[in-house]
Amino acid sequence: MSITSNITRAEICAVAIADAFRDSGEILASPIGLLPSIGVRLAKICFEKELLMTDGIASFVDFSEEDTPASEQEKVIEGWIPYRAIFDLVLSGKRHVMMGATQIDRYGNQNISLIGEYKQPKSQLLGVRGAPSNTICHKTSYWVPQHTRKSFVDQVDMVCGIGHDRSAQLSPANTRFHHLHRVVTNLAVLDFDTPDKRMRLCSIHPGVSIEEVIENTGFELSIPNNVNKSRSPSLKELQILREVVDPNTLREREVAS
């Protein structure tokens, strides 16, 4: 059986996440979560060599060997980035973060704080965290592993990440780096490249129909006349993904095939 004949949904998602960082150049990539981390490493190894990645403490690191499993790679220190210097990158648009979204609406307002009424929520989540400054100060994408009407909602219960309708109320000086780039889910890839900055369906993953995406979205999407299929990884990308970046197939725990 050909190596490309049994590509899984998780691998389609990984390469879609990697493509979200394509042509980024020398910026700080901040993937939050398992699949975003796998996708960013795949991008750095395969086509976006200048991406900067941190060890979470004070160093830029490289793990980009193309023939050594992740568990056996030695960390290569590329540079030093003390905590105070992170804000120079963050506030100047030199960062691209991929965050999660418990809820997200048609204009990209994101919620990771609570479910229900603010005064007496049904569920307390992570809290606002850095979502407001992330969305205002630099490029932001989202990874949503379960594309359902509970996550893609008409109105978020609390705004954490700032969407296009709210950023439009701010001054140009305050929003010069506001850029909601991509939303990658287990069903599709979406963006906001529409005249009114409303969420648009870019591609559907193999085995997914447009109707399935519509059925699992709690608002009206912008849908072009021709919707592409999300691309499959190349042979090289697939080998690196399976043998180097994620040889223990952790990706399959997050997205069912």
Report domain extents, the chain: 9-253
Query: Mean pLDDT, the chain, as a whole number?
Result: 93
pLDDT at 152 over 50: yes
Side chain identity at residue 160, one-letter code: C
Tell me the C-alpha distance between 109 and 14, whole Å: 24
Residue for token pair 């090289």: 236
* 3-state SS class at 41: helix
Nearest CA to 205 out of 47, 40, 14 is that of 14
Q: Are 148 and 188 in contact, with CB atoms under 8 Å apart?
A: no
pLDDT tens-digit readout, 52-80 = 998 878 888 886 666 677 666 777 888 88
Would you state the structure tokens that stand for residue 80, as one six-digit string? 């030093």
> Would you state the pLDDT for residue 227?
97
Residue for token pair 């991406």: 51
Tell me the C-alpha distance between 25 and 216, whole Å: 34
* 3-state SS class at 177: coil
> Would you state the pLDDT for residue 1?
45
Supply the pTM of this predicted model: 0.93
Q: Are 108 and 199 in contact, with CB atoms under 8 Å apart?
A: yes
CATH superfamily of 9-253: Glutaconate Coenzyme A-transferase (3.40.1080.10)
**Phi, psi (deg, nearest 5) at residue 200:** -120, 145
Residue 48 CA, distance from chain mean position: 16
Nearest CA to 216 out of 150, 163, 142, 143 is that of 150
Q: How many CB atoms lie within 10 A of CB 172?
A: 7
Would you state the structure tokens that stand for residue 119, as one six-digit string? 């005064």
Q: How many CB atoms lie within 10 A of CB 32?
A: 15
pLDDT greater at residue 184 or residue 76: 184
